[in-house]
Structures are given as structure tokens and as C-alpha cells.
Structure 1
Amino acid sequence: MKRILIPVMLLFVLIISACSNGSTEKKTDDSASKESKSGTITYQSETGPVEVPAHPKRVVLLSGFTGNVLDLGVNVVGVDVWSKNNPTFKNELKDVAEVSDENLEKIIELNPDLIIGLSNIKNIDKLKEIAPTVTYTWGKLDYLTQHIEIGKLLNKEKEARAWVDDFKKRAQATGDEIRAKIGEDATVSVIEAYDKNLYVFGNNWARGTEILYQAMNLKMPEKVKEMALKSGYYTISAEVLPEYAGDYVILSKYEDADTSFQETETYKNIPAVKNNHVFTMTGNGASFSDPVTLEKQLKFFKKSFLGE
């Protein structure tokens, strides 16, 4: 009897176990389905957890990040004035409304399901009543980590990380080619003409500085390093421009900027000017550090330095 009883009991246990597992799997599937049907995810923002749409369809941007959202293929219905006037996004934002943190009525009309901005925007509490609102402190994250965070927010972290990894490889490879051509010790300055002022930039103030100094590992003139690396930028006069000009100069110019300094002998006698090592890019839109802008700048640097 014992020989018969043991297999029968064992069979009974296996059946019970299988039923139990099937029940557990069904509960897990039901739970996942329920979470999916809820249509939201919890994003861990710098101010705490925020319930946001799992697949946002109407995003309002109040402080940039426009290129990040566009690159991830998410629909934008409203943007700040700087984004709207950015020529880089001209086609993508053709039919997108211009909004501000002070014009709440306009934002309500757009019926957004997600609002993104910097931590210093106005009316944050009122904006939260319109739609889930997530803010970031400018400069708290580096330019690539910021894109990954936007990816997490939009439930597209995988896509964001894929772009970051690919961009880093391509930028580094381009940097290797550039250094091989101009020399490991050659210096590069990024200077901007805006209104009546001249600025020189460190390694994290857009205008392609992140690509040149961080991704490509090109060298910065000592004077620039001394005055602009820590603060991000430094205002200079046309008279001292030669002290900040590297062997190569990236000159960012706004359309309405005062460029009379380029007619002076001081400017004309700068070695980079004499050697045709000044590469001019459009200032409008250069102050962004998103994937769309970075791709455009990488292409510009490849053409300027390598002729590609």
C-alpha cells in the first residue's frame, strides 16, 4: 500500500502546486494589465514623486528641453519664446503655440497632459492644477544625464540612453580625428557676440562647449580656463580678445549683434584670424544643449575642422 500511496500523494501535491502557480501568474498578469490601463507612471522628480502620463500626448515646455522631447518623438503643443524663435526647431514648431508661465489661460486652452520647466518658473502651484508639472534645476545635471532624465519622465529611458551612448561614441571619434589633424596641444576658444557684448565660455555653457571640451577632449586656452571654467562664461572687451583666443576660435554670432570688433586691427592680428581658423556659427539657437541642437553642432564641427 505504501508503494501506491506515495506516488498518488505526490501527484496530488503537484496538481495543487500547478493550480497555485497558475493562480499566481494570472494575478500577476491582471496586476500588470491594471497598471497599464491606469495610464500613469510615477516619476521620481527632484522635488518628489509625481504621477505623470505613461504616454504623454500634449506636452507644454516652459524653459527649453524642447529638443529633448522632440528627439524622443513626443508631441509638443506649447513652448517658451526662446524655443519658438529657435531656427533649429523652425519646422517642428511651426504649428506649436508660444506660451509663458504667466499666461495660464493660454496653457489651459492647450489642454496639456504634462508640463515641463525649470525650477524657477512662476506659478508652479497653479500649473500643477492644470496638468502634472515637473521641473529641473538648471545645471544640476550634465547635458547627457539631463536627456536621460527627460527620457525617464516620458517613459522613454531606453531610447534616451541609446542616443546618449551613440552620440558619445561618435563625438569622441570625431574628437580623435580633429586632434590628430590640429595637434594634441592646439587650443580652441568659444566666443560669442551678443548685442554689444562679447563673451567667452567654459566647458558646459552650450554653444557646443560640451562637445568640444567634454566629448572631444579639445583643449581650452589657459586664460579662458582661468576666467570662465568655473563660472561658465565671462564677459570680455574687444581689446583683450587676443588673450582669450585659442589656436582655433568658434565664433557664435547673433544676427543683431555688434560685430564692429571684427574690423579692428586688434582682431585682424589674432593668429586664429590670420590662419583662417575662425569658424562662425549662428548664435540664435546655439544656447541649447539638447540632442537636436547637439547633432547640428557636431555636424558643424566636423565640417569646420575636418571638411566633412
Structure 2
Amino acid sequence: MKRFIIPFIFMCVLFLSACGNSAKNQTVENASKEDESKTITYQSENGPIEVPAHPKRVVVLNGNAGDLISFGVNIVGVDEWAKASPLFKEQLEDVTTVSDEDLETIIELEPDLIIGDSDNNNLDRLKKIAPTVTYTYNKVDYLTQHLEIGKLVNKEKEAQDWIDDFKSRATTVGNKIKAKVGENSTVTVMESYDKDIGILGNSWGRGTEVLYQAMDLKMPDKVKEMTSKEGYYMISSEVLPDYVGNYLVVSKYNDQDNSYQKTELYKEMPAVKNDHVIEVDGNAFMFNDSLTLDYQLKYFEEQFLK
């Protein structure tokens, strides 16, 4: 009889262990489902809005795709501008391209959160699809904007940690650059649009936040004056020399008319003659999200200090 006792006890132990593991797994699964169903109240610029505590399917219709990628948030729909950035190519390769007009496609994507600009079309209809949070461009500075995105997706600590680190790194790089080019050297950032040229202020993407705010480099007085209202100022190529400082950053697109760079007027500018022109990929430099800012900072460090 004794020979049957040990096997019986062993079977009981296995049975109780299996029951315990099953109950534990069920508890974990229930907790996971409960966690996914949780919401938080985000204080948006338009008032409080209830959003998922951990969004799983986000549609991004503004310039914050890079911030979402850095936080590890799953993006299911994104606008064509973000899709064109080579910095996001791998992460957005299989993500659907949408606009604020593609309502049916957005519905099919089943988003649990939509992030857009305050001037997007169809906002009332988008809000019926999923909680929709919008931002007004340049209403807050670029670092505060990153923090706000962090708050929205429940990643505030990660956002603040990156901000602190970026400010420290940018100050160090800025000091090195100013030590080389001179404290009073000026930098102009421009971008061509068909036959016109845009001179950019201190918060218009294309590296302007890094140059003028994070690294504290100077812009020419005329650029500062003319961009103070709109953030940019459109000029003709004929007057470009009036706005170019000691250094010139040119944001370029392959499909734009860059013939002005072949003119004698352009070639005779001191910044060009002194080889102080830094050309950047307009698609890579367009935004001011955390991933793009990191790339811009490294690129400027290499170019100014080479």
C-alpha cells in the first residue's frame, strides 16, 4: 500500500501547482486587460480630455511622430510629411499614410488616440472616431511640446529625462562651436520654395531650435527683425545676401528649384566664399521632435567642428 502513497502525493502537488499557475496566469491576464482599459485625464490646450493610459493604436496628423517613436508608442497612421523623413523610415515603413481628409481609412485603422494640429480639418468628425488631442504649433516652446506629448501618453518622466539630457548636451556642443567660430558669429537658416526663399526664425524646425535656442548661436539682426512676427520671412533670391550671416544653413529638397546656388550673386556671398555653407536634407531636418533634434545636434557638431 505504501508504494502508492508517494505517487498519489506527487500527483496532488502537480495538480495544486497547475491550479496555482493557472490562477496566477489568469490574474496577470485580467490585470493586463484592466491596465489596457485604464484612462487618464490629459489637460489639453482645449481643456481636459480622457485618453488611454497606454495607447496602443495612435494616428498622428502633426509633427510629433518622432516623439511617439522615441516613447515606443505604436503608430498606425501618420501624415505624408512624417513618412518622408528618412529618420523615421524604418519605424514607419509599414504604417499607413493618412491625412485629416481620410476619415474612412482612419476608421479602418481603429485608433484609440488621434494627435493632430489645431488647424486640422474634420476635427469634430475625428473626435467621434477616437479621443483627439490637438496642439497649436509654437504655442509652447519645442521642449515643452515634447513634455506635453510625454504627459499625453503617460511617459512624462521619460520626456523630462530626455529634455534634461538634451539641454546639457546642446550647451556643451554650443560652447565648442562658439569657441571655434566666435561668440558673435551669426547663422542664417533658409529654405527655397519654387522661386522664393524662406528665411527662418528661431522656432521653425530645420534645426533652428537647436542653433538659436539650445546652442545659443546668433542670427543676423535683420533676420531676427523680419521673422519675429510669423516665424519666417519670404524673400526673393536677389536680396538673399542682405539676410545671410557668417554661416548659412541651407535646407534642401531634391524636387525644389535650387538654381539660385549657381548664380554669381550667391557665389559671391562671404559665407559661400569662405566655405561656411552647411547643406541639410530638408526632409530629415523638418521637425523638432526629440529624434530629429538629436540628429540635428549631432549633424551640426560634425559640420561646424570639422
TM range (shorter): 0.7 to 0.9
**Partner residue, 2:266:** 267
**Partner residue, 1:303:** 302
The whole-number CA distance in structure 1 between the counterparts of 2:225 and 2:279 is 24
Unaligned runs of 5+ in 1: 1-32
Q: Which amino acid aligns with 1:81?
A: E
Q: Secondary structure at the match of 2:183?
A: coil
Task: Please give the per-residue CA displacement for 1:181-215, whole angstroms capped at 9, x wherever unaligned.
Answer: 00011111111123322111111111111111111
Q: Secondary structure at the match of 2:283?
A: coil
Task: Please give the per-residue CA displacement for 1:238-289, whole angstroms capped at 9, x wherever unaligned.
Answer: 2111111111111111111211111111111111111100010011242211
**Partner residue, 2:56:** 57
Q: Which amino acid aligns with 1:304?
A: Q
**Partner residue, 1:216:** 215
CA contact (8 A) 2:203 2:209 kept: yes
Q: CA deviation at 1:37?
A: 7.3
Q: CA deviation at 1:305?
A: 0.3
CA contact (8 A) 2:253 2:283 kept: yes
Unaligned runs of 5+ in 2: 1-31
**Partner residue, 2:250:** 251
**Partner residue, 2:132:** 133
Structure 1 segment 84-163 matched on structure 2, within 5 A: 84-163=83-162
- Normalised to the residue count of structure 2, the TM-score between the two structures is 0.86
Task: Please give the per-residue CA displacement for 1:154-199, whole angstroms capped at 9, x wherever unaligned.
Answer: 0000000100110011011100000000001111111112332211
Task: Please give the per-residue CA displacement for 1:65-98, whole angstroms capped at 9, x wherever unaligned.
Answer: 1011111110100001111222221111100001
Indicate the larger mover: 185-194 or 156-165.
Answer: 185-194
The whole-number CA distance in structure 1 between the counterparts of 2:227 and 2:119 is 24
**Partner residue, 1:286:** 285
Q: Percent identity at matched positions?
A: 62
Taking a change above 3 Å as real, the CA distance of residues 249 and 231 of structure 1, as seen in their structure-2 partners, is same
Q: CA deviation at 1:137?
A: 1.3
Indicate the larger mover: 229-238 or 109-118.
Answer: 229-238
1:165 paired with 2:126, answer no
The whole-number CA distance in structure 2 between the counterparts of 1:290 and 1:37 is 26
Q: CA deviation at 1:36?
A: 5.2
The whole-number CA distance in structure 2 between the counterparts of 1:254 and 1:233 is 18
Q: Secondary structure at the match of 1:91?
A: helix
Q: CA deviation at 1:222?
A: 1.4
**Partner residue, 2:196:** 197
The whole-number CA distance in structure 1 between the counterparts of 2:102 and 2:263 is 45
Q: Which amino acid aligns with 1:120?
A: D
The whole-number CA distance in structure 2 between the counterparts of 1:66 and 1:260 is 32
- Normalised to the residue count of structure 1, the TM-score between the two structures is 0.86
Task: Please give the per-residue CA displacement for 1:2-47, whole angstroms capped at 9, x wherever unaligned.
Answer: xxxxxxxxxxxxxxxxxxxxxxxxxxxxxxx9x9575111111111
Q: Which amino acid aligns with 2:233?
A: Y
Q: Which amino acid aligns with 1:161?
A: Q
Q: CA deviation at 1:116?
A: 0.5
State the number of aligned residues. 276
Q: Which amino acid aligns with 1:97?
A: T
Indicate the larger mover: 97-106 or 170-179.
Answer: 97-106
**Partner residue, 1:10:** none
The whole-number CA distance in structure 2 between the counterparts of 1:109 and 1:69 is 21
CA contact (8 A) 1:195 1:256 kept: no
The whole-number CA distance in structure 2 between the counterparts of 1:206 and 1:273 is 23
1:72 paired with 2:71, answer yes
The whole-number CA distance in structure 2 between the counterparts of 1:236 and 1:104 is 37
CA contact (8 A) 1:147 1:160 kept: yes
Taking a change above 3 Å as real, the CA distance of residues 194 and 38 of structure 1, as seen in their structure-2 partners, is same
1:39 paired with 2:33, answer no
Q: Which amino acid aligns with 1:274?
A: K
CA contact (8 A) 1:195 1:254 kept: no
